[in-house]
Amino acid sequence: MTGVNPHGIGQLKNGPIVIDHHRRFTMNIDTQTHLTKLRDLLVYRLHDLESDVRADELARRPSAEHDVTDLKEEAQRHTQDGVLDAEERRDVEELQQVRAALARLDAGTYGDCEDCGEAIALQRLLVEPAALRCASCQSAFERASARIR
């Protein structure tokens, strides 16, 4: 015997201390240096959206108390309010996205594409800090959801 460990202790092959580089956070350095700015953008957007949604809720309150006896009239009014409703829905959706992005920031997973796991370009995040996907995955996602509709 020439000093070889008969039990293979010390061999790193498949050992527990091997770091899985694949699971590492892929956010790029540029994004990391802009995290404070991105968080500010998200918090600002969050407050903006929250007050928008609150204003929409307040605007809706009088009609919610309105006695709904004439369904035809009610339906007509809803059609007129259609634009506002769509806008409100977009606000609520964006609010959820912004909250999710802030949660990812706290969890340390911010800036990674939800679909391919690659780092989302900083330029994209600065324009759309709540972006969940990289540009190419987002357009693929939009094409796919457009097909469903």
Question: Where on the chain is the footprint of Zn ion (CB under 5 A)?
Answer: 113, 115-116, 134, 137
Q: How far is the CB of 134 from Zn ion (least distance, A)?
A: 3
Nearer to Zn ion by Cβ, of 125 and 137: the residue is: 137
Task: Report residue 139 as tokens.
Answer: 């357009």
Taking the complex as a whole, the smallest distance from the CB of residue 146 to Zn ion amounts, in Å, to 18
Phi, psi torsion values for 102, nearest 5 degrees = -65, -35
Minimum CB distance to Zn ion, residue 133 (Å): 5
Q: How many CB atoms lie within 10 A of CB 119?
A: 19
Q: Considering the complex, state which of residue 102 and residue 113 has its C-beta at the smaller distance from Zn ion.
A: 113
Phi, psi of 25 (to 5 degrees): -60, 125
Shortest Å distance, C-beta 97 to Zn ion: 16
Residue type, 57: E
Q: Which residues pair with 119 in a beta bridge?
A: 112
Nearer to Zn ion, 46 or 132 (CB): 132
Neighbour count for residue 98 (Cβ, 10 Å): 22
Name the minimum Å distance from CB 126 to Zn ion.
17
Per the DSSP assignment, residues forming a β-bridge with 112 are 119
Q: Which two tokens stand for residue 138?
A: 């987002």
Give the DSSP H or E segment for 136: helix 135-148
Contact 30, 122 (CB under 8 A): yes
